[in-house]
Amino acid sequence: MSDYTILRASEAPDYTGGDASPFLGYARPMGAEQIALNVRVLAPGASNVPPGEDPTWGHSHNRVEEIYLVIDGQVTVKVGDDVHTLGPRDAILIGRGTPRAARNEGETEAAVAMISVKMDDPMGDSHRHEGFWPTG
């Protein structure tokens, strides 16, 4: 007997409610019990922040490490004081407590998969870092 679930890309919920830079959920709608998988599609110039939020802020997690895996395009990531540009199939492991932010500074759309353990309360485990990555 096999146990699996398929979620087509067109069925993945957009947690931004239709923003130009969707934040697509995969693990929760598939019923994953242990892992979290989201895909952030970033329009040129977009930052990985909730719609209407300040693009200069970053965040960290108390108990959770994350892997950001670039699927398409280029994504610039700030971790602590360091800034790195990642391309397709590049990944970064970000430890718990490390401030982070991601943005698309390119001219084409980018997509990044965000992978971690499942959090019962993602916002409760997160801390905002205001002014973490000021824009020019």
What domain range is 46 assigned to?
Answer: 10-119
- Is 15 part of a structural domain of the chain? yes
- Is 128 part of a structural domain of the chain? no
Confidence (pLDDT) at 136: 56
The residue type of 20 is A
Q: Which of 112, 59, 60, 56 is nearest to 86 (CA)?
A: 112
Confidence (pLDDT) at 121: 78
Q: pLDDT, tens digit, for every residue of 91-119?
A: 999 999 999 999 999 999 999 999 999 98
CATH of the domain at 92: 2.60.120.10
- Is 127 part of a structural domain of the chain? no
Q: pLDDT, tens digit, for every residue of 34-86?
A: 999 999 999 999 999 888 889 999 999 988 999 999 999 999 999 999 999 99
Q: Of 121 and 42, which is predicted with more confidence?
A: 42
Domains held by the chain: number: 1
pLDDT at 122 over 80: no
Confidence (pLDDT) at 102: 96
